[in-house]
Amino acid sequence: MRPENLFGSFAAVTVLGGIGPRIGKLVAKAAGPHVADLYWHLPSGIIDRRFTPKIAAAPEGQIATIAVTVEKHYPPPRYRRQIPYKVRCRDDTGVLMLVFFHAHQDYIEKTLPVGATRLVSGKVERYDDEIQITHPDYIASPEEAASLVAVEPVYRLTAGLSAKVMRKAVGQAVARAPDLAEWIDPAYRAHHGWSSWRDALHAAHRPEQAEDLDAGSPPRMRLAFDELLANQLALALVRLGARRRPGRVIAGDGRRRNRLIAALPYRLTQAQQAALAEICADMAKAVPMIRLLQGDVGSGKTVVALAAMLNAVETGAQAALMVPTDLLARQHYKNLTPLAEAAGVTLALLSGRESKRTRETTFAALAAGAVDIVIGTHALFQDEVQFRDLAFVVIDEQHRFGVHQRLALSAKGVGGADGGARPDLLLMTATPIPRTLTLTAYGDIDVSRIAELPPGRAALETRAVPLERLDEVTTAVGRATKAGARVYWVCPLVEEAEDLDLAAAVERHAALEASFPGRVALVHGQMKTERREAAMAAFMAGAVDILVATTVIEVGVDVPEATIMVIEHAERFGLAQLHQLRGRVGRGAKPGTCLLLYAPPLTETARARIDIMRQTRDGFRIAEEDLRLRGSGELLGTRQSGSPEFRIADLDVHGELLQAARDDSRLIIARDPGLASARGEALRVLLYLFERDAAVRNLRSG
């Protein structure tokens, strides 16, 4: 249960003064629904009103606070509200016009009476040789000057939310922040000269100069370390919980693996052999394995996973392969069935699409041990699914599953023939992940990399084409389909607007359907699963030649006949996603082509992305470049690639803090795994503060 001293932090933002239900929705959209979300909504800029020049010396584009005498009002003509209300002011160096749109005349006359001296503050502009300030932020009499806030933080907003309201909401939230017991090691905190959590929070929201906004400023460094420590400690606790139960020694005799390797039409690459050796070495230890297998698109991860599963089957145990979609489950089942037969093992498929009778038959076979390996989707979590002896679990595209889903499947091995040992767990991803991101997503996990492609892969050409040549591309696609090619056409990614993604796809589908009637299918995220899978199946079977899609094209879907990938508005995509999409083509014997359609002019970052895509197919190099170009603000985020977002930490700046947080969490787990000490209690509060509640629950249940 959340500690009592955090109850106020997790109250709805509507408990703050002046934040009713309507404004509360806007604040929640900009920052989050809880008071604590406003703690992490740090200023993105400042308004500095300490600059007080004379009118003639006020530079254009800068915030200035100027003492003026009000000379004359120029209200707009009646019924012409689009014309602004102007007030002429002056000092001994020149004239300043104050400009107001849709103004209330009585309010302006009362605020700026002719002949009065006023302090006005706002951005200086020049228009038709006039110096002016449009809608001054502050207008005050000399007596009120003391109340003028010299430096104000600027916060990210959303449509309909004013800067003043957001500033007031954050100010109230930070003022309510509780004074919490210290969770950072005293020596480490003293080394950096950091203040307490609450003082750092207050300082981060009260910047005095531009340097205070820097990610390397002491208050922001302190808060970033807090976030990274919560992240690393939570991951360490989840891993500790997974390993609390005993593991089992899994060491097969190699006979089924040898039959598999003999049946392959190619030799395993050295990288595949090395990865398999690492996995089997882990399986032979009496500690539950948790290993991440990274491999680029088409590098042969699935065969390595199958060989590892056969290692378990050779000992008389069972294995399971879980994938995120029914389509992928069926594809894996189809591709692995002949290999399983060659190895002499029984394979079963379990997804939500089988008939009740088929499912019940599979349930019975699994429970009796008549099935050696099962391939399935979320259906594997069902209570009815019981194994005779589950020893090894593989989770493909693991970022699509939550930690608890992963653990729920591995827990199904508990109580099997090995008397309570937890199955070994192999996580697989086709998105190569840089080391720093591996740490933030998984903690200090063991990683195997397959960093080479099998020999004989078809050539893949990547070209960048401006959108103005769209007609030429369409014509070329038509020629290719007549020659038997199949084409993916991915429509633009519109940030935070899936309905616009959909509109773009529907529009492109209609245009291509007009050119190639009956030969174009459409898939998008808002379609029912059955319709989407039917469209994919039609494309895989060759019933249609062109598949128009938003970014829902499944990772891992294998259509060897697909040789052309068109990505519209490629400049809107992250590198990792461009690489994943390109990996859908050139998977067969025929060479592939990826066309990156872009709208000029390109930003420097977009140009760099497209250049890298043209230079290399190495997913590991691309992943590192992606991190460098995008920074860590959207760490493999849902729309780009797949891991946790940080509210404060920036791994480009805080990489050393990540290492320190990892080392500290290791020490904490070694010395106080139950978080029972005084520091342990403070660390529990830290986990709740950063909403890592699952880790605390895991601690309790252990």
How does pLDDT run across 469-494, given as a tens digit for each residue? 999 999 999 999 999 999 999 987 55
Mean pLDDT of 326-348: 92
Torsion over CA: 278, 283, 286, 288 (sign):
positive
pLDDT of residue 18: 93
CB–CB of 462/596 below 8 Å? Answer: yes
Least confident residue range of 197-201, 367-371, 578-582: 578-582
Pair 164, 25 in one domain: yes
Task: Answer yes or no: is 630 within a domain.
Answer: no
Pair 325, 443 in one domain: yes
Pair 203, 344 in one domain: no
Task: Confirm whether pTM is higher than 0.85.
Answer: no
State which of 557, 585, 616 marks the end of a domain.
616
Pair 14, 87 in one domain: no
**What number of CA atoms fall less than 13 Å from residue 151's CA on the CB side?**
12
State which of 598, 616, 634 marks the end of a domain.
616
Pair 141, 162 in one domain: no
Task: Answer yes or no: is 679 within a domain.
Answer: no
Q: What's the CA gap between 546 and 562, in Å, rounded?
A: 9
Q: How many domains does the chain have?
A: 4
Would you place residue 583 in the very low, low, confident or very high pLDDT band (cuts 50, 70, 90)? confident
pLDDT of residue 399: 53
The DSSP H or E segment spanning 11 is none
Would you place residue 415 in the very low, low, confident or very high pLDDT band (cuts 50, 70, 90)? very low
C-alpha closest to that of 230 among 702, 699, 683, 696: 683
Pair 368, 485 in one domain: no
Torsion over CA: 165, 171, 174, 176 (sign):
negative
Residue 524's domain comprises 460-616
State which of 148, 166, 195 marks the end of a domain.
148
Averaging pLDDT over each range in 303-307, 418-422, 481-485, 693-697, which range is the top one?
303-307
**Six-digit token string for 48:** 């500095």
The CA angle 268-274-278, to the nearest 5 degrees, is 130
Q: Which residue has the higher pLDDT, 80 or 404?
A: 80
The CA angle 654-655-659, to the nearest 5 degrees, is 115
Pair 297, 389 in one domain: yes
**Which letter does DSSP use for residue 56 in this model?**
G
Model confidence pLDDT, tens digit, residues 104-119: 899 999 999 999 999 9
Task: Answer yes or no: is 335 within a domain.
Answer: yes
What is the overall mean pLDDT for the chain?
Answer: 87
Would you place residue 642 in the very low, low, confident or very high pLDDT band (cuts 50, 70, 90)? very low
Averaging pLDDT over each range in 24-38, 279-293, 567-581, which range is the top one?
24-38
**Burial zone of 276 (CB within 10 Å; 0-12 exposed, 13-18 middle, 19+ buried):** buried
**Burial zone of 405 (CB within 10 Å; 0-12 exposed, 13-18 middle, 19+ buried):** middle
Would you place residue 413 in the very low, low, confident or very high pLDDT band (cuts 50, 70, 90)? low
